[in-house]
Structure formats: C-alpha cells, structure tokens
Amino acid sequence: MWKAVLEAKRVGARAFGMFLRSQRSWNSKSLDDEAAEKFQSTCQECGFESCYILPHSPYLMNLGSPKEGTLLPFLLSDSKSVYFPPYPLPFISCCLDVFLKSRAMLVEELGRCKQLGLTLYNIHPGSRVGAISVTECIKRIADGINYAHSQVPDVTVVLENMSCQGSTIGGHFEELREIIDHITDKSRIGVCLDTCHAFAAGHNLADEAGVKLMIDTFSKIVGISYLKAVHLNDSKGEVGCHLDRHENIGQGYIGLEGFRQVMNEPRFDGIPMILETPYNPDFEDYSTEIGLLYSLCS
C-alpha cells in the first residue's frame, strides 16, 4: 500500500486516491500494523498530508440496497417450467444481505482509514435498483453512514455525485443534500464532485461559464462547506447523457477549456483533485495529464 505513495510522488502528484482493498470483492485480508506504519511513514517522507489522500470504496458497496429483494421467476428455455434462481441477480433485485454487507464494509473501511491515519473516505452513495423510492433509499444510505460513524471515530465520509445513470442516487445535488440532512454528525460528511458525472448529469462544464454555474448551484443547494474533493475526468458522452464514461483530459466532450475553468476555480483551492482517467497508451503515465492540468492554471 505504501508503494502507492511513492508512485504518486514519482508522477508529480500533490494528492492521490487509492483503494484500501480489492474493489470487486466483499472479502479482504486485515491490514497489519506494520503495513499501516510503513504507509504513514512514507506519506510523511513524501510530504503527503492525510487531507490530500482520498481512498475510494469498492464498487460492490450499496448502502441504498432495498430491505427486501424479490426473486423474479425465469422461464426455462427448454421447457414451460418456471425457475427461481437461488440468489437475486444484482441488476434485477437486491436483498437485505447486500445492505448489511455494505454497512459492514464501510465500518471496516473507515477502520482501515483510521489505522492508516487517513481522514477522508469516498463512496458512491448507492442505488435503489428500481425497487424502492428515492426517499427511502436516501434514508437507508444515511442510516448506513450514521451506523459506521458510531463505530469508527474521526473519519469523514465523502459522497460522490453521480451521473443520473439508472437508479443511482446522487446525480442531483438535492439528493446529496437530503442525505446530509439525515446525517447525525454533519462535521463528518462531505461531497466529492466528479466532473464527468456532473457533465453527464446535465451540468455543461464545456460552456464558458459552466463550472462557475455548477459550483454556484452546488453552493446554493448543498453548501460549499461540504465540498471536500474533486474527481477530474473528461467525458466520453455528451452533456446530459447520464453515462458514467470517463475520458482522458481534453479528449472528451468537456474539453480543455472546460478544465481550464476547473483549474482556475478558486472554490476548488485547498482540496484534493484526483485523476480517474482511463489508461492511454499515448501517455507515459499520469504525469502527462498532471502536467497538462497544471499548464491550464493562470
């Protein structure tokens, strides 16, 4: 894990994101104290403060999972019999077990942050998988965060805005605000603005005043004090497409002029800005895009 710190330093980053476990598995090995101490000492040696490190939750986590799942029948192709699968398919239904496992995962992940000396933890809010109302889903997400807060002190949960794709929660700033309204300890909740997600949700960051308008809207609805980080991604899809498809900086529909606005927006000062762009064989590594972003600063 400490090697991530060295890599961030090597490519010229001043902030970085990381996974604290496999992002596609419910199970993970515990983090031993020696590895945690090595991570902290490497951060200190490389000059990275905890407020500029933003771990990301595994993709399986869904704090908005419905209380009850529905096992939908499938007609077997070779007969007229009806088959009920022994488990709910994730894109059709979700069961209470997913919520409990997600909540337990969040507690474990906040514990890892605490062990590593980190203070921020980024999550996708969750999805109602088409089975419950937005209001009920938001309440479940907040309940999961409140429970995790009660188990692990000090670490702030950072909600990522989404692209309005499918049944996901968080594509509208009003949804993020409603989650925050249900959080007991509001000093430990925040938001990370993803540029690709915002663009896909309908905020035209490619427009001349698009970034300013988005931040003004965010400030009015959510509150600028809750802004804790930014994910820097161009978009493969057009504005309002609702697709979560990241593109390299300047090669998508947001474009370089959009990111010039981002890099010169004063309300982004002092918070981590994390690249999540795809691998590009034309780039040596992330240092290419980091240098490009710095060049846009005036």
197 is catalytic: yes
What is the secondary structure of the chain as a DSSP string?
A: -HHHHHHHHHTT-SSEEEESS-TT-S--PPPPHHHHHHHHHHHHHHT--GGGEEEE--TT--TT--SS-----EE-TTSS-EE--SS--TTT---HHHHHHHHHHHHHHHHHHHHHT--EEEE--EE-TTTS-HHHHHHHHHHHHHHHHHHS-SPEEEEEP----TTEE-SSHHHHHHHHHT-S-GGGEEEEEEHHHHHHTT--TTSTTHHHHHHHHHHHHT-GGGEEEEEE-EESSPTT-----EE-TTSSSSHHHHHHHHHT-GGGTTS-EEE-PPP-TTSSSHHHHHHHHHHT--
Give the lowest-confidence range in 60-74, 242-256, 263-277.
60-74
- Alpha carbon distance 268, 260 (integer Å): 12
In the set 21, 103, 128, 197, the catalytic residue is: 197
In the set 244, 247, 286, 289, the catalytic residue is: 244
87 is catalytic: no
In the set 21, 246, 247, 289, the catalytic residue is: 246
pLDDT, residue 96, reads: 57
Mean pLDDT (the chain) is 91
194: left (phi over 0), alpha (psi -120 to 50) or beta: beta
In the set 10, 32, 49, 59, the catalytic residue is: 59
Confidence band for 24, pLDDT divided at 50, 70 and 90: confident
231 is catalytic: yes
52 is catalytic: no
**pTM of the model as a whole:** 0.90
Burial of 113 by CB count in 10 Å (0-12 exposed, 13-18 middle, 19+ buried)?
buried
- Look-up of token digits 């309005």: 164
**Residues 276 and 233: beta-carbon distance below 8 Å:** yes
- The string of pLDDT tens digits covering residues 194-213 is 999 999 999 999 999 999 99
Spans of all domains in the chain: 2-66+99-295
Both tokens assigned to 176: 């993020």
108 is catalytic: no
In the set 21, 56, 103, 188, the catalytic residue is: 56
172 is catalytic: no
pLDDT, residue 74, reads: 36
**Residues 252 and 200: beta-carbon distance below 8 Å:** no
242 is catalytic: no
- Alpha carbon distance 227, 142 (integer Å): 18
In the set 24, 78, 269, 284, the catalytic residue is: 24
59 is catalytic: yes
In the set 108, 109, 178, 194, the catalytic residue is: 194
149 is catalytic: no
Q: Is the pLDDT of residue 220 over 70?
A: yes
Average pLDDT over residues 2-11: 96
In the set 7, 32, 181, 276, the catalytic residue is: 276
- The fold of 2-66+99-295 is TIM Barrel (3.20.20)
Residue among 63, 139, 123, 131 at smallest CA distance from 92: 131
276 is catalytic: yes
244 is catalytic: yes
Q: Is the pLDDT of residue 273 over 80?
A: yes
In the set 108, 112, 149, 160, the catalytic residue is: 160
- Alpha carbon distance 205, 210 (integer Å): 4
pLDDT, residue 17, reads: 98
- The string of pLDDT tens digits covering residues 98-145 is 999 999 999 999 999 999 999 999 999 999 999 999 999 999 999 999
